[in-house]
Amino acid sequence: MNEILIILFTPLLAGVLAWAFDFRGVREVIGLIGAAVPLAYLVKLYPAVIEKPVDYALTVGGFTLQFQLGTMSWYFAAVASLVGLAMAFGLVATSRSGYDWLFALMSFTGVLGVFLSQDFIGFFLLWELMTFASFMMVLKRNRHESLKYFVLSVIGAYAMLLAIGILYARTGALDFETIRQALIIDVSLGTIGKGETILLFTLFLTAFGVKAGAVPLHVWAPGAYSETDQSYTAFFSGALSKAGVYGILLIYMLMGYKLYAELGTFHGHLTFAYVIAWIGAITVVVASFLAVLQEDIRKLFAYSSVGQVGYILLAFGVGSPLGFAGGLFHVLSHAIFKGLFWLVTAAIILQTGRTRFRDMGGLAEKMPFTFAMGLIAVLSLAGIPPMAGFASKWLIYEAAIQAHMPLVAGAIFLGSGLAFAYVVRFLYGVWFGQRPSELEDVKEAPLPLLLAMTILAIPNLVFGVAPGVVTGYINRILMGDVVGGDYYRLVTQTGTYNALLVSTALVIGLAIAGLVYLYGAKARRVPVTDTYQSGNPVTEEFNLSIRRNFYRPLAEALEFWLRYSWDRFYERLAKLSEDFADALRQAFYNGNVQSYSWYLAIVLLILALWGVL
């Protein structure tokens, strides 16, 4: 059997078997094997992919589906498979049904198919498989949020289908390479005009923007990410959102030259790329502000997930080789630190049954390993060296500066500041300070969940200290030495980052701090319950304010803007559509046979005038 076929369909097959043999222990073993096989085969095929792309064609119902493992598709598939394996270990601890394994692994197959497809038939079918499976995961726990996700996904699917139809009508092809060549030739022929080009760009941007969770199409993400098994959300946020990001790259690959020819430049930047950059910048800022204001850790990280994907869109929108390098690096770093965050969240909920800041505190003493994993995720998300998150964000900063986009660069800095604000609250509000008496019996997370966290924590550290391992491969994708240096140094035209030097300085600093703590001034160990605020002992009635409306002053400052909500806008739009449809129904579906006869006569007349009859 072809290896690409094994990579694609092993998770789906394992999901079906885990659902069919829904017995404790059996489904978990099957699920883990199904999640591990794609990563193992991707590692095996790495040397071959470096030499030349690996192709495979599958004929189904008269249609030939083309798949390819090239340098870029391998990269995206490897990122998804790493997070997928971590998700599977997490599900061992948090899931109790074959239903979860079926649809979690089904979405795994779907996202791998999206990355490996080389034609729009397979791309669209596997895109829909991925969407259906993730919808079923949300539906099990929250019908309202699943409906929101379904509606936005349908809008995105129809937008993509319409764009594919237009391309097929104009080019006569569905495979990516033929479409790309046809659009390049059409720059000279002018068969596809400016208006149609803009329409295609808008349709694809809508379809891929929905899956990426870009503002204003993000409204499904906070609820969907929150209202499902948090181990699965590690994959939902860390891997499935990258399908939308991959789609943005597909726009560049298929239509980039045509869009440049038709739309030109704006202030020295590609016009269509400038639009993508600003969508990313707005997504970063809006989602980060909303994350800061959340009182539920699930909603906080849901909005954070949206904001962090905004960095990737922003980087791709810069449109330079360095921007693509930074965006591709952040595809990896976001997947591993956000996936780690969701696994930490899964552990917290599993062990405490709580999700709100006001109900937590002092858990570092009870869950030390989970706390250490959470700290790694915090440092990486906040962009603090020597974690992978810093290296990728540093490249994005450099790209924005080189491209002379100061406002976009400002959005990056503002987003990073806001990210630091909400992760600090997560650190203190959940792990430190006063611990509620109800949490005195909390234990460390189960071993499978700890293994899941470790799978994602290790690359956060390794690729942070040795970012050149990632940029070296990204240079292969971009076919040039976009980022210089070695394993430990990143070198661009405007700066150098030495991760090894920073790591060494950090270790020395921590060692000095430890020596001061051990041999310096005498310290008295106190329990977490021996805590004071403004000279008052902290009690259940007088608790630390960081857990209760800590950023309320910010909410008051933003009160004017918070009056406006995309959720409320879409809800009102849906209500207007429903009322309009109901009015049409009452007007036309009135039970009068004579009216129906007139409708039929009118339709036949129109068809006759068009020459159909």
**Average pLDDT rounded to a whole number, residues 384-398:** 91
Q: How far apart are CA 111 and CA 561, in angstroms?
A: 36
pLDDT of 108 reads 96
Paired tokens of 339? 């996936």
In degrees, rounded to 5, the angle at the alpha carbon of residue 218 between the alpha carbons of residues 216 and 224 is 160
Q: How many Cβ atoms from other residues are within 10 Å of residue 348's Cβ?
A: 26
Alpha-carbon gap, residue 72 to 84, rounded angstroms: 18
When pLDDT is cut at 50, 70 and 90, the band that residue 532 belongs to is: low
Instruction: Inform me whether the pLDDT recorded for 529 exceeds 80.
Output: no
Handedness of CA 455, 460, 464, 470 (dihedral sign): positive
Helix (H) / strand (E) element for 64: namely strand 63-69
Average pLDDT over residues 518-543: 62
Q: What angle do CA 41, 47, 50 make, to 5 degrees?
A: 115
Distance CA 306, CA 287 (A): 6
Peptide bond into 216 cis (omega under 30): yes
Rounded to 5°, angle at Cα 351 from 349 and 354: 40
393 by DSSP, 3-state: which?
helix
What are the counts of helices (DSSP H) followed by strands (DSSP E) for the chain?
24, 9
Helix (H) or strand (E) holding 328: helix 321-352
Residue 326 identity: G
Q: Which residue has the tokens 């106190």?
A: 526
Q: Which of 275-284, 419-428, 468-477 is predicted with the least confidence, judged by mean pLDDT?
A: 419-428
pLDDT the model gives residue 399: 92
The answer to whether 395 touches 328, Cβ cutoff 8 Å, is no
Q: What confidence category does residue 536 fall into, taking pLDDT thresholds of 50, 70 and 90? A: low
pLDDT at 266 (0 to 100): 87
pLDDT per residue over 565-577, tens digit each?
777 777 787 788 8
By CB atoms closer than 10 A (0-12, 13-18, 19+), residue 80 is: buried
For 238-270, the DSSP string reads: IIIHHHHHHHHHHHHHHHHHHHHHHH-EETTEE
Q: Which residues pair with 65 in a beta bridge?
A: 58
Q: Residue 528 CA to chain centroid, in angstroms?
A: 36
Hey, which of 319-323, 430-434, 547-551 has the most confident mean pLDDT?
319-323
Residue 544's pLDDT is: 46
Lowest mean pLDDT among 55-69, 280-294, 433-447, 590-604: 590-604
- Out of 61-70, 258-267, 282-291, least confident range: 61-70
Q: What does the pLDDT read at residue 359?
A: 84
Q: What is the 3-state secondary structure (H, E, C) of 463-494?
A: HHHCCHHHHHHHHHHHCCCCCEECCCEEECCC
Q: How confident is the model at residue 109 (pLDDT cuts 50, 70, 90)?
A: very high
Q: Above pLDDT 70, what percent of the chain?
A: 93
CB atoms within 10 A of CB 228: 26
Average pLDDT value for the chain: 88
Q: Going by C-beta distance under 8 Å and a sequence separation of 6 or more, which residues neighbour residue 139? A: 146
Question: Average pLDDT in the 270-299 region?
Answer: 91
Measured distance CA(380)–CA(374) in Å, rounded:
10
Report the alpha-carbon distance of residue 514 to residue 57 in Å, rounded.
59
The answer to pTM > 0.75 is yes
Does the pLDDT at position 82 exceed 60?
yes
Q: What is the pLDDT of residues 213-238, one digit of tens each?
A: 898 888 888 889 988 889 999 999 99
Single out the residue of 464, 491, 456 nearest to residue 389, CA to CA: 464
Give the pLDDT confidence score for residue 546 in this predicted structure. 64
End-to-end CA, the chain: 51
Query: Peptide bond preceding 386: is omega within 30 degrees of 0, i.e. cis?
Result: yes
Q: pLDDT by residue (tens digit) across 10-56?
A: 999 999 999 999 888 899 999 999 999 999 999 999 999 999 999 88
Residue 79 confidence (pLDDT): 96
d(C-alpha 444, C-alpha 369), whole Å:
7
Q: What share of the chain in percent tops pLDDT 90?
A: 54
Contact between 453 and 82 (Cβ < 8 Å): no
DSSP string, 329-392: HHHHHHHHHHHHHHHHHHHHHHHH---BGGG---TTTT-HHHHHHHHHHHHHHTT-TTSHHHHH
Identify the pLDDT of residue 117.
Answer: 94
Question: Would you state the pLDDT for residue 547?
Answer: 65
pLDDT-derived band at 534, boundaries 50, 70, 90: low
